[in-house]
Amino acid sequence: AGLLLFALAAAARGRSQARSRQQQVLQLSSQLNTTGDPLIGKQLGHYRVIARLGQGGMGSVYRVQAAGGDYAAKVIYYNSGDARVLERFRREFKVLSRLRHPALPRAYDYAEAEGMAFGVMELVEGKTLQHYIRPGGLPLDSIWPWVQDILLGLECAHEQGIVHRDLKPGNLMITSGRVKILDFGLARQTDLTAVTLTGQGFGTPTYMAPEQISASGNEVA
Question: Mind telling me the catalytic residues?
Answer: 166
CB atoms within 10 A of CB 90: 16
Q: What is the largest CA-CA distance in the chain?
A: 67
Region of 215 (left: φ > 0; alpha: ψ -120 to 50; beta: rest) is left
Buried b (16+ CB within 10 A) or exposed e, 167-206: bbeebbbbeeeebbbbbbbbbbbeeeeebbeeeeebbeee
Cα–Cα distance list, 151 to 142, 145, 158 (Å):
16, 10, 10
